[in-house]
Amino acid sequence: MGFDLPGLLAARRDQGYELHARHLNPQLPRMLHAIGFDRVYERGEGCYLYDRDGSRYLDYLSGFGVFGVGRNHPVVRRALHDVLDGGLADMAQFDCALLPGLLAEQLLAKAPGLDRVYFCNSGTEAVEAALKFARYATGRSRIVYCDRGYHGLTVGSLSVNGSAEFRRGFDPLLADTGIPLGSLDALEAELRKGDVAALIVEPIQGKGVQAAPPGFLTAARTMLHDHGALLICDEVQTGLGRTGRFFGYQHEAVIPDIISVAKALSGGFVPVGATLAKDWIFEKVYSSMDRVLVHDSTFGANASAMAAGLACLAVIEDEQLVSNAERTGKALQDALKDMAQDYELLADVRGRGLMLGLEFTKPRSLKLRAGWNMLQAARHGLFAQMVVVALFQQHHILTQVAGDHMEVIKLLPPLTIGDAEVKQFCDAFATVMDEAHRGTGLMWDFGRTLVKQAVIR
Ligand SMILES: Cc1ncc(COP(=O)(O)O)c(C=O)c1O
């Protein structure tokens, strides 16, 4: 039997949802049908997706942040073709291949003060390495994390997850402790106990899009070092230019001890992760030849991921995507902040660069209260879901609610967007907000459907 991928895709193009319902997580197709997101996408290019009917969708989700350079970037594709066509001696394992060395060299050049890199295959693995390295290097066991923090869903990363809904039912996890984001007092109280290896923190939290208050990372790092503990910045979502700096922590004059990187690093083509740390930490973990494989991953430094990573860094540089994220992000944020004055349901516009959160709140006017209360009685977060659905169905813009039980939507477009995509989003959002503030119409009808589903669940 030969293998013909295009033939296979053409022959079974309608069966994705059915196959998922039968063989994979059954809740995914159910959820997508319920909110009317059940499209069949066939192509992606730059900041757009195209469905099987040829309709175009503006992608303000970027595959949860992996398409920083946009979908199917030709430079990254070329690099991957070169890897395959070159028939490289990939993963010989007992060799020192060139590509991981080159990618490490380039990543470290973006993170002055950090010295070494461990490569793996995902964000959660990059975090697992960070947690293990911090524990081994300090000889202590406890990690402090921030409420609402999200660092992945394997057991170690889940132990530092700040949302009960992810943790519930998977206990016992590792003994770790949550503190409010930005609370130096709470951090100090934990550090005084003497058993803390590190604080792990996202410069901007993915859930809810809350940034650590200005100066927090710098003050926390000093406090952590005073108590013999380390600062881990999780840059899985904020890294690679997303916030208008190459790494999110670089909005402050602070050098963390360890950072975790993943998502956008390979341009969205190949799973990849990286843990960057100071030399002394690597020297401790890999302290003798006996310990050479004490933390390792079979696929970690594979040629496809490394080549895609190098190509992706070249694109970020050549297309000046970090400064583009800062500039377009500011334009988008300013435009949305202007709108907030006209819309009582829109409480806050926050974030940095092209990682923005829009938070909705209880309306003051009686006309809107009944609808809002109906949604809240069923489930906190349904209004935000209603906005996401309206943006998608009426305007073909893909966004997401920023977390469970949150009235916040998150904007995470490719860093390549320009003024046209900023305007397209703002015009659509204004139309959706106008309809929401009328208190009637299709959007509210759909809100009632969401309420029924929430009640049934
Ligand atoms: C900050 C952060 N850390 C870790 C992860 C986990 O990454 P992955 O899904 O690749 O395991 C995520 C994923 O969203 C993330 O946003």
Domain stop point among 251, 284, 318: 318
Find out whether 68 and 242 touch, Cβ atoms under 8 Å: yes
Residue 213 lies in a domain: yes
Is the pLDDT confidence value at 182 over 80? yes
CA of 140 from ligand 1 middle (Å) equals 24
Give the mean pLDDT of the chain.
96
**Mean pLDDT (whole number) for 354-365:** 96
CA–CA gap between residue 250 and residue 259 (Å, rounded)? 12
Who has greater pLDDT, 315 or 440? 315
**Residues 6 or more apart in contact with residue 20 via CB below 8 angstroms:** 26, 28, 29
Find out whether 395 and 431 touch, Cβ atoms under 8 Å: yes
User: Cis link prior to 172 (omega < 30° from 0)?
Assistant: yes
Residue 1 lies in a domain: no
pLDDT at 456: 59
List residues near ligand 1 (CB under 6 A).
64, 122-124, 127, 150-152, 202, 206, 234, 236-237, 262
pLDDT at 439: 86
Domain stop point among 318, 345, 374: 318
CA–CA gap between residue 61 and residue 6 (Å, rounded)? 27
**Mean pLDDT (whole number) for 104-111:** 98
Find out whether 278 and 113 touch, Cβ atoms under 8 Å: yes
- pLDDT band of residue 452 (cuts 50, 70, 90) is confident
pLDDT at 329: 98
CA of 341 from ligand 1 middle (Å) equals 34
Residue 277 lies in a domain: yes
Q: What is the pLDDT of residues 396-411, one digit of tens each?
A: 999 999 998 999 999 9
The backbone torsions φ and ψ at residue 401, rounded to the nearest 5 degrees and listed phi first, read -75, 140
Domain stop point among 272, 303, 318: 318
- pLDDT band of residue 23 (cuts 50, 70, 90) is very high
**Residues 6 or more apart in contact with residue 126 via CB below 8 angstroms:** 120, 236, 260, 261, 262, 273, 274, 275
Percent pLDDT > 90 in the chain is 93
SS3 205: coil
Is the pLDDT confidence value at 159 over 90? yes
Find out whether 264 and 237 touch, Cβ atoms under 8 Å: no
Look up the CATH number of the domain holding residue 401: 3.90.1150.10
Ligand 1 binding pocket mutation candidate from 236, 261, 410 (most atoms within 8 A of CB): 236
Ligand 1 binding pocket mutation candidate from 124, 209, 210 (most atoms within 8 A of CB): 124
CA–CA gap between residue 59 and residue 399 (Å, rounded)? 7
CA–CA gap between residue 281 and residue 205 (Å, rounded)? 26
Residue 2 lies in a domain: no
Summary count for the chain: helices (H), strands (E)? 18, 15
Q: Residues 135, 284: one domain?
A: yes
**Mean pLDDT (whole number) for 135-154:** 98
Cα distance between the two ends of the chain = 45
Order of strands across the sheet with 56-59? 41-45, 48-51, 56-59, 397-398
pLDDT at 114: 98
CA–CA gap between residue 94 and residue 224 (Å, rounded)? 38
CA of 362 from ligand 1 middle (Å) equals 31
Residue 3 lies in a domain: no
Reading the block at residue 70, the tokens are 């946009």
CA–CA gap between residue 29 and residue 52 (Å, rounded)? 17
Look up the CATH number of the domain holding residue 274: 3.40.640.10
**Residues 6 or more apart in contact with residue 160 via CB below 8 angstroms:** 127, 131, 143, 145, 149, 151, 176, 200
Q: Residues 120, 30: one domain?
A: no
Q: What is the pLDDT of residues 275-290, one digit of tens each?
A: 999 999 999 999 999 9
Q: Residues 43, 161: one domain?
A: no
Ligand 1 atom nearest to 202, measured from its CA = 1
CA–CA gap between residue 221 and residue 431 (Å, rounded)? 44
Q: Residues 42, 106: one domain?
A: no
Quote the distance between the C-alpha of residue 127 and its chain's center.
13
Is the pLDDT confidence value at 239 over 80? yes
Its domain, for residue 449, covers 17-69+321-456
Residue among 240, 243, 260, 263 nearest 251 (CA): 243
Residue among 281, 382, 314 nearest 74 (CA): 314
CA of 343 from ligand 1 middle (Å) equals 33
Residue 10 lies in a domain: no
Reading the block at residue 237, the tokens are 């979502």
Ligand 1 atom nearest to 206, measured from its CA = 16
Q: Residues 206, 268: one domain?
A: yes
pLDDT at 158: 98
pLDDT at 453: 79
CA of 162 from ligand 1 middle (Å) equals 13
User: Which amino acid is located at 32 in the chain?
Assistant: L
Find out whether 325 and 355 touch, Cβ atoms under 8 Å: no
**Mean pLDDT (whole number) for 191-213:** 97
How many structural domains is the chain composed of? 2
Q: Residues 284, 364: one domain?
A: no
Q: Residues 337, 283: one domain?
A: no
Residue among 380, 368, 371, 360 nearest 454 (CA): 380
Q: Residues 49, 135: one domain?
A: no
pLDDT at 455: 64
CA of 47 from ligand 1 middle (Å) equals 21
**Residues 6 or more apart in contact with residue 225 via CB below 8 angstroms:** none
Residue 300 lies in a domain: yes
Measured at the CA of 445, the angle between CA 441 and CA 450, to 5 degrees, comes to 145
pLDDT at 443: 85
Measured at the CA of 321, the angle between CA 182 and CA 109, to 5 degrees, comes to 70
Order of strands across the sheet with 355-360? 346-352, 355-360, 408-411, 400-401
**Mean pLDDT (whole number) for 270-276:** 98
Ligand 1 atom nearest to 205, measured from its CA = 1
Q: Residues 274, 307: one domain?
A: yes
pLDDT at 430: 97
State the pTM of this model. Answer: 0.97
Q: Residues 207, 245: one domain?
A: yes
Q: Residues 85, 188: one domain?
A: yes
Residue 131 lies in a domain: yes
CA–CA gap between residue 108 and residue 117 (Å, rounded)? 8
Quote the distance between the C-alpha of residue 239 and its chain's center.
9
Q: Residues 312, 196: one domain?
A: yes
